[in-house]
Amino acid sequence: MDDIEKERQRVIARFDSEMEEIYFRAKREIKYNATYFLQMLKEHGGLATAHRLLASHSIGYGFAELLLAGRPDLTMETLVLRPEFSALFSPEELAVAAERLQTQSTGAADKPTPGHPAQAPDMREILQARVGETIYTMAHGKPNRLLRIEDHNVIVGTYKSPLGEPVPIEWVQAAADRLYHDGELEISVASVRYRSAFIGAILSTLPGVRPSTDPRWLRLG
């Protein structure tokens, strides 16, 4: 291994360490536990995780949470743009990171305008991060516990089915896509399919979403 490659490996090791550090700082300083992010770090390492997140067409739930908390310094995008790490990424990846930070800092991505709908978050990432939590339905406040992710489903426990029943993640994502595209969404079986109460409950916890229980609608802004 020549000196150039040794230096590159040293920078990669430092980047991997810094990626773990922003996870622990977010958990310690603002009480945000990015479990899905940590899982990716364990499975792929810091650099590969960053490449995967930058290749995604959607802005992650964790990124939005950090911005809402006023902590862009704890985002992966900020870390990627640091001069000592920028050589690890392509010009296209650096542009994505810079654009996300710039767009979110102005609030433009959170405010849909005619012809420019907001980008829905990756609901699989959000559901994975919420595993182990209990959320409550909009209309009656019934508990729904996110037990685990199995293949393409989230397993949700209720009073009637404490061991859990599967809800296709694609149903949740489709509902989120419509909400962020149209700016509002009716929560009913006819609108978002079976398990509409759970889908409405999880979407109502997203940043910038306002629930209404009579009738059951979700609105952005």
Check whether 219 has a pLDDT greater than 80: yes
pLDDT reported for residue 117: 52
Could you give the percent of the chain with pLDDT greater than 90? 50
Domain that holds residue 58: 3-110
Is 12 within a domain?
Answer: yes
For the record, the structure tokens of 116 come out as 């420019």
Same domain membership, residue 146 and residue 82:
no
Same domain membership, residue 101 and residue 9:
yes
- pLDDT tens-digit map of 99-128: 988 876 555 444 444 444 567 889 999 999
User: How many domains does the chain contain in total?
Assistant: 2
DSSP string, the chain: --HHHHHHHHHHHHHHHHHHHHHHHHHHHS----HHHHHHHHHH-HHHHHHHHHH-SS--HHHHHHHHTT-GGGSHHHHHTSTTTGGGS-HHHHHHHHHHHHHHHHTGGGS-BTTBPPPPP-HHHHHHHTTT-EEE-TTT--EEEEEEEETTEEEEE-SS-TT-EEEEHHHHHHHHHHHHHHSEEE-SHHHH-SSHHHHHHHHTTSTTEEEEETTEEEEE-
Domain end, chosen from 69, 84, 110, is at 110
Same domain membership, residue 212 and residue 157:
yes
Same domain membership, residue 102 and residue 170:
no
Same domain membership, residue 216 and residue 129:
yes
Same domain membership, residue 95 and residue 134:
no
Same domain membership, residue 136 and residue 88:
no
pLDDT reported for residue 215: 66
pTM, rounded to two decimals: 0.54
Is 116 within a domain?
Answer: no
